[in-house]
Structures are given as C-alpha cells and as structure tokens.
A and B are shown apart, each in its own frame.
Chain A
Amino acid sequence: ETGVTQSPTHLIKTRGQQVTLRCSSQSGHNTVSWYQQALGQGPQFIFQYYREEENGRGNFPPRFSGLQFPNYSSELNVNALELDDSALYLCASSRKAGVPNTQYFGPGTRLTVL
C-alpha cells in the first residue's frame, strides 16, 4: 500500500507569483485535505476535496484554490503569493468524508516566498 506523496519537496517563489502543489492520496482513499503549517504552529485546515468537489474550507482567502482528479490525486493552487504564505503545506488523505476518520499525511512541500 503506497502512502501519501507530495511534490515538489521544496519551492522558492517571489511575491505575486503563482504556485501549484501536488498530492497523490494513499491507495483506497477518496478524500484529500490540505493544511498549512507555519513555523512553530500546528497545521491549519485549508480545504478538503471529496468526489472532485470542495467539501469544506477553512479561513483562507479565495486565492487558495484546489482540484481533485478522478484518481483522487489533488492540487493546491495559490495565486498572488504573499510573504506570509511561506509555510509547510501538508496533504492528507482518508477513506470517506462526513464520518470520523483518520487522516494520513504526506511529507509536505516547503514553500518559501521571497
């Protein structure tokens, strides 16, 4: 059983640019959630995708958007990057939305915005 994978591992961008992060869910999982972890803090929920639709969103502006594909992989897109977007971006997959379930995390993508 393959775990959650994310790409790229590290990324450096400048303010105003756009970035796309990718995630492949664990086999058998159909729900993908994205989290932002700033230095010294716990992960914060960005949004969740289930059956290719957004299934919930945290307190993040619309310039954070996502997609889920038929194979359950997912993308996180961030437009108009700001310095405060520098963080570790984590993807987590789970079996089903709407019921208590355990989420399994990927290794993350470290984004630095200069």
Chain B
Amino acid sequence: DQQVKQNSPSLSVQEGRISILNCDYTNSMFDYFLWYKKYPAEGPTFLISISSIKDKNEDGRFTVFLNKSAKHLSLHIVPSQPGDSAVYFCAASGGLYNAGNMLTFGGGTRLMVKP
C-alpha cells in the first residue's frame, strides 16, 4: 500500500516557465511534508518543507502548497532553470505509529528543463 504517490514519472518544461510537481498521500496522520531533489550518483538534497498547520511555504524560486482536505501537495518552481533537471521526491512523516521522524517517500518525478 503506497501511502505517498507521485503519479507523474516525468515532466518536461521549457526554461523560464513554471514547473509543477504533484504528490498525493493517503495517511491522514502525516503532519510534515518535504521535497527532495536527487541528481544521479548523489544522495537526495533537501529543498523545502511544510507543516500541516500551513498551506503554503516559499523559499526563493520554490513554493510548496498543501491541501489537507484533498491530501495533496505540490511543488512549484518559478522560473525553471536547466540546473533544476533532476528527480524530485515528495516525502511525509508523522503519525501515531510512526517512529520518530521516519520519512515515507513517493516514487519520484523526473523533471527535465529544456533550454
């Protein structure tokens, strides 16, 4: 049972345009959400996070939106740059039966930003 899903395996965007990456979750006990970026042969790099008490968090070109009623979050990158090309993972934590801050990851979305 996949508790965190990224339904788009890949996304292609033109440089300068907006990239929107989506993530859905099923466990209503999740209370903290994160986005990571991963280049080949490297570990995931933390991008941005959001707590369930908020519905939006911004950091420079990156904005994460959380819709708790829909159990959906999205990452917006504006403007997109070729260096943003990577695999993006959505992750969630929290819950009564969740030990500490264990992260549950989605399957990832490969973003390609074309010059």
Contacts and interface: CB of A to CB of B under 8 A. Distances in A.
Contact of A100 (B6, B31, B41, B105): B31
Contacts of B20: none
A48 B100 CA distance: 8
B62 interface: no
Contacts, number: 80
Interface stretch (A14-22, A63-71, A76-84, A91-99): A91-99
Contact of A42 (B41, B43, B101, B107): B107
Given A43-B44, A100-B32, A56 B102 contact: yes
Interface size class of A (residues with CB under 8 A): 20 to 34
Nearest to A110: B41
Nearest to B52: A100
30 contacts: A33-B101, A33-B103, A40-B107, A41-B108, A42-B6, A42-B91, A42-B108, A43-B105, A44-B105, A45-B102, A45-B103, A48-B99, A48-B100, A48-B102, A50-B100, A55-B99, A56-B99, A56-B102, A57-B99, A92-B103, A98-B100, A99-B101, A100-B101, A103-B103, A105-B43, A105-B44, A106-B43, A107-B42, A107-B43, A108-B42
Interface of B: 4, 6, 31-32, 34, 36, 41-46, 49, 51, 89, 91, 93-94, 98-108
